[in-house]
Structure 1
């Protein structure tokens, strides 16, 4: 790589330290994160454009002029401490003022270093090694262009090896036949995301295929099923937008405005599961925990775009509980128990529940009742 760059007058031995540093700080990090390439179809494109971005350009100008060694060492230690504090502060809402302060320090430090570098470049322009400076600017670009294909081939090999190991479980713990593997590779080709997602029935059939054409047919079926699934998810997302604020029901008698229905029901089901687990734990008394929702409320499952919270109540004897949430459409979902597990009740009404679940409480049905259509699973989005 460096031999070809030297032939093109893009590299000299003076850049050896910069090349090594690039591989340690950039190339090695990309290699460590290579597992993300089969999840993000733009993984390699993003890596390349990062080298052309404003951040990379600023980094070049800042590093173009080196400060006196003692001053640079002190500055790097201070900036490292500020960066660590900034990362910690930014991860917690209660440290938001500290995050703003550290972000401001980093901004002014960057602007100061940039000003220092530009000023020295301008003042020493006549004596500056312009060719060397240009080579240093271009070095990350050609290093990236040369490294990405190598990383892709490595990721390609790892992805298919992992896939064939998975498929061996469908084939008496033996790798698919050579013809089947050839059909899979020529069917999926080089899309790393497709390799990762190749599962289910089509993968089972491909693993046991006897011919290349049978394996390719299984891959085609996988792509067709995935396209239908993506279309259904897109339609479900669009339906949420189209039906927002609409009153009435559809042809199946289900409410049209279903904003946050899925998120609400998932959160309530999870709360019920946690209540059952707490009650059944052998190390604790047989009772429901009064502050369980407070313990769980910090998780993302209980964060909703509209901001409306889940409300929970536990009876004084801790042998019954219920929780509910009003969705953006105004419809209310609830869940609870009237006794020890496996007691479970579901609430579904346009108004808030009036009390704990029971046969006499309006809107509540127990888990054996089939009459709760609004509690069906929502379409995947």
Structure 2
């Protein structure tokens, strides 16, 4: 029994139906990974079908221009949108960005005025019932599509979890009991299912009973909660100790803002140096320019953070340092071919690279209590 027999759908709605299928259903299926992991994916999908801009766009599209004119307009919107997006992140293109935005607004006004004129001119001939059905179509179809999409994403996520469990046990080992335990604990919740760590799945896969897998799940979740709690305590400690002078009982600095981010950035720089040395037989003196400031921003350093680097003339030694917001200095370097690594932290910049300043520590030497690497 088709929807047309209930008066919900008929052939006149074929075009908006196809448009909805391509722009919503098909696109959502191609975004399955986002649906599995992205918070609020389904809420945003639902809100997108009823948002105010949808109603505005519907009114503007009731009476489009001739095909050739419409194609030119749409191409203009696309090109100007790309140019506006590109210029938005470049202060030197600020004036051009304003011009592109003004041109977009102008085109939007042209479309709006055209639609308003056509609606006013053909007001008596508008089939308001049909237009209302066209407007309601994507809303209703999206509402009907959401449960299917959620079930599909849930099934795919469970299948992925079961596959990863099978990959950690000998070939032929059944994982239906751990998979059942996983379903019992996470239910129909994608966030809970995505929150299960690889270590927890690994332990569950080795359980021979459902009860054993449930126990492994509970222990894994408790361990993860403890880790999250520890991270929260560390973050709060950074806030509480901000600006404090002195050391703790272990001899470490109380104020450790930017310590972790600086270590991560310098360690990444060391990794890149090692990789290029293996290819070129020397350390590059342009490594910082090659990586760019954005690379270190992704490691957590603030915008404009400065890393100072020194490379020997023969390219066989290098070292780099950075001063954190607290004034504490971290440095890293190598005096030989990879995987040589030296580390330093202290109140002042090293007087030289590894082998010159005695406060450098080789990475194979255990870290002392008062050191921050």
Shift of 1:85: 3.7
Pairwise CA distance, 1:342 = 4.1
The answer to whether the 8 Å contact 1:206/1:215 transfers is yes
| Partner of residue 163, structure 2 | 165
Can you list the C-alpha shifts for 1:188-240, whole angstroms capped at 9, x where unaligned? Answer: 21222333343444323322333333323333333323332332233333332
State the distance in 2 between where 1:142 and 1:200 align.
39
Measured after TM superposition, the shift of residue 13 of structure 1 is 2.4
- 2:366 maps to which residue? 370
Matched, 1:236 2:234: yes
Structure 1 residue 242 displacement after superposition: 2.6
Matches within 5 A, 1:199-238: 199-238=197-236
Q: Would you say 1:32 and 2:27 are equivalent positions?
A: no
Q: In 2, are the aligned partners of 1:165 and 1:175 still within 8 Å (CA)? A: no
Q: Which whole-Å CA distance do the structure 2 matches of 1:90 and 1:160 have between them? A: 41
**Range 136-145 or range 62-71, more displaced:** 62-71
Shift of residue 4 of structure 1?
4.5
C-alpha deviation, 1:129, in angstroms = 1.7
- Superposed CA offset, 1:320-368 (max 9, x none): 221111111111111122344444322211222232232x526422324
Q: Give how far 1:299 is off.
A: 4.3
Q: Equivalent residues in 2 for 1:1-381 (5 A)?
A: 3-4=2-3, 7=6, 9-89=7-87, 98-174=96-172, 176-281=174-279, 284=280, 286-302=281-297, 304-358=301-355, 360-361=356-357, 363-373=359-369, 376=372
How many Å apart are 1:29 and its aligned residue? 0.9
Q: Which has the higher mean CA deviation after the structures are superposed, 314-323 or 262-271?
A: 314-323
Deviates more, 1:179-188 or 1:264-273: 179-188
* Distance in 1 between residues matched to 2:240 and 2:208, nearest whole Å: 47
Deviation at 1:165, TM superposition (A): 1.1
Query: Partners of 1:91 and 1:307 in 2: how far apart?
Result: 15
Separation (CA, whole Å) in 2 of partners of 1:269 and 1:109: 50
TM-score (norm 1): 0.86
Q: In 1, Cα distance between the equivalents of 2:4 and 2:231? A: 48
TM-score normalised by length of structure 2: 0.87
**Contact 1:37–1:192, Cα closer than 8 Å, also in 2:** no
Q: Is the 8 A contact 2:265 2:296 kept in 1?
A: yes
Give the distance between the partners of 1:225 and 1:195, measured in 2 at CA. 16
Structure 1 regions of 5+ residues with no counterpart? none
Q: Say if 2:334 and 2:342, in contact at 8 Å, map to a contact too.
A: yes
Cα gap change, 1:3 to 1:91, in 2 (>3 Å) = farther
| C-alpha distance in 1 between matches for 2:270 and 2:308 | 13
Distance 1:37 1:254, change over 3 A: farther
Deviation per residue, 1:18-74 (Å, 9 max, x gap) = 011111122111110111122223211111112222332332122122223332232
Q: How big is the shift at 1:112?
A: 3.1
Cα distance in 1, alignment partners of residues 151 and 229 from structure 2: 31
Q: Describe the SS at the equivalent of 1:214.
A: helix
Query: How many angstroms apart in 2 are the aligned matches of 1:161 and 1:330?
Result: 50
Distance verdict in 2 for CA 1:96–1:197, change over 3 Å: farther
Pick closer, same or farther for the CA change 1:375–1:263 going to 2, 3 Å.
farther
Gaps (5+ residues) in structure 2? Answer: none
Cα pair 1:320 1:336 within 8 Å, conserved: yes
Q: Kindly report the root-mean-square deviation, in angstroms, between the aligned alpha carbons of the 2 structures.
A: 2.8
Contact 2:250–2:369 (8 Å) recurs in 1: no
